[in-house]
């Protein structure tokens, strides 16, 4: 194959990749996995892609790759890919209202003013930092702890400002990582959120937990609940308030965080610590999988097969109740804590309909606030990359929502304290 023909094929590949970033080219079956694998980095890191592509095109142009008819065709295709990458970036930057408006509708026009009453707030610098430096800024070596009996899996990083008082009673956020119940690594997930929350005076925990196929459901949710129990017993030593613990997570972490919030103190998933308090005051599941039992719809058949083979390891037909119990949408309750649910419209791994259905069903049952943000053009894991605009919009929206909940609880507590008369 000639060098110039290879140049055309390379340009076609760049164009297809950019187009997949604009809109996923597959939404059914197993092709959605590579579509996500290539589409997510393109959709969230488009300026990086475009910069690298331009520098490489300059290098290849200087050596003559774009001479002749085929070379000019390759250059045109590459330029179109750059235009699509720029479109992706502009859409990302313009996404902020889609995070803010759902909060305004659910919390009221004064939600930002109420949230501002929660904690002293400090400005967070938004930029592209190496993620390991972000973690080191907020996580001391002594702040990596073991929260459960499984030494390799039950580890957590505690994110906090170095100047946070040890007796400060700061609000606490538990971050449950995603990874299809098979990865579950606390690093480097949700660094934009964790650093944002820590800078504003929160204490955050990011955990590992037992994952499949080495481990079997319900080990995953048992570990999440064990982490909550550990927080309630120990977080005061780090300046956190055990009476205000919220939970969040994306993808599998979205499922686990929502399920934990809806099943407080359930002895079924608290073996050996049945009496521990595992309730939370708020939940923020992001692009989660809330239904483990429906077999029809986009990707549902493949998902049930995956659960049967690698996670639950039991036939669905003979163990339907296990799958129902693990479904957040089947554990709805009137006394559920406030929820903020986020999902991307172009999610090719977990279709946006699952987020819509869960939010709608929860609103019908819960007496607490339920906010739902649907982000246009967003792929799965849209908040993963630290430098992505959507990652920072997510971090700010989550912080404002949780601060609003915190402020409301503080106000309620203060109003319940009887005045002292002389």
SS3 282: strand
Which residues are within 8 A (CB) of 57 and not within 5 positions of it... i.e. 6 or more apart? 66, 75, 78
Instruction: Return the DSSP state at 269.
Output: G
Do 329 and 291 touch, CB atoms closer than 8 A? Answer: yes
385 φ, ψ (degrees, to nearest 5): -80, 125
Rounded distance between C-alpha atoms, residue 155 and residue 146, angstroms: 5
SS3 29: coil
Name the nearest CA neighbour of 290 among 320, 318, 332. 332
Query: DSSP labels for 159-201?
Result: E--TTS-TT--EEEEEEE--STTT----SSTTHHHHHHHHHTT
User: Please, what's the largest Cα pairwise distance for the chain?
Assistant: 94
172 φ, ψ (degrees, to nearest 5): -120, 140
Helices (H), 67-190: 68-93, 97-107, 111-115, 131-138
Cis bond upstream, residue 261 (ω within 30): no
246 φ, ψ (degrees, to nearest 5): -105, 165
Q: What is the CA radius of gyration of the chain?
A: 23
Do 303 and 289 touch, CB atoms closer than 8 A? Answer: yes
Take residue 74 and report the two structure tokens written for it: 């390759």
Take residue 294 and report the two structure tokens written for it: 């429906």
Do 239 and 172 touch, CB atoms closer than 8 A? Answer: no
Helices (H), 263-388: 300-306, 320-325, 352-365
Take residue 12 and report the two structure tokens written for it: 């076609």
The catalytic residue positions are 251, 347, 380
């Amino acid at each position: 194959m000639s060098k110039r023909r290879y140049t055309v094929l390379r340009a076609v590949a760049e164009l297809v990749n950019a187009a997949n970033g604009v809109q996923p080219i597959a939404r059914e079956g197993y092709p959605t996995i590579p579509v996500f694998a290539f589409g997510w980095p393109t959709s969230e890191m488009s300026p990086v892609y475009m910069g690298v592509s331009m520098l490489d095109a300059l290098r290849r142009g200087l050596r003559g790759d774009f001479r002749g008819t085929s070379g000019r065709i390759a250059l045109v295709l590459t330029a179109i890919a750059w235009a699509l990458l720029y479109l992706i970036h502009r859409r990302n930057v313009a996404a902020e209202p889609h995070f803010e408006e759902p909060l305004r509708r659910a919390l009221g026009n004064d939600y930002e003013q109420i949230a501002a009453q929660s904690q002293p707030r400090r400005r967070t610098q938004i930029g592209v930092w190496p993620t390991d430096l972000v973690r080191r800024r907020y996580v001391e070596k002594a702040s990596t702890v073991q929260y459960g009996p499984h030494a390799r899996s039950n580890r957590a990083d505690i994110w906090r400002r170095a100047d946070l008082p040890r007796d400060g009673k700061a609000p606490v956020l538990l971050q449950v990582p995603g990874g299809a119940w098979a990865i579950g690594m606390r690093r480097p997930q949700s660094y934009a959120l964790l650093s944002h929350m820590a800078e504003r005076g929160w204490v955050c925990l990011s955990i590992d937990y037992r994952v499949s196929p080495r481990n079997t459901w319900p080990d995953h949710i048992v570990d999440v609940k064990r982490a909550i129990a550990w927080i309630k017993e120990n977080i005061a030593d780090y300046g956190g308030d055990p009476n205000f613990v919220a939970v969040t997570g994306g993808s599998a972490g979205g499922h686990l965080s929502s399920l934990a919030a809806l099943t407080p103190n359930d002895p079924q998933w608290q073996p050996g610590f049945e009496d521990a308090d595992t309730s939370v005051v708020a939940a923020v599941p992001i692009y989660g999988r809330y239904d483990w039992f429906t077999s029809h719809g986009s990707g549902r058949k493949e998902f049930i097969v995956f659960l049967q083979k690698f996670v639950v390891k039991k036939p669905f037909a003979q163990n339907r109740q296990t799958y129902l119990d693990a479904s957040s949408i089947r554990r709805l309750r009137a006394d559920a804590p406030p929820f903020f649910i986020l999902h991307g419209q172009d999610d090719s791994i977990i279709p946006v309909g699952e987020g819509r259905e869960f939010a709608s069903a929860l609103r019908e049952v819960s007496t607490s606030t339920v906010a739902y943000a649907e982000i246009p053009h967003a792929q799965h894991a849209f908040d993963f990359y630290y430098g992505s605009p959507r990652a920072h919009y997510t971090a700010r929206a989550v912080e404002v929502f949780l601060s609003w909940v915190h402020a409301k609880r503080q106000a309620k507590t203060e109003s319940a304290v009887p005045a002292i008369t002389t």
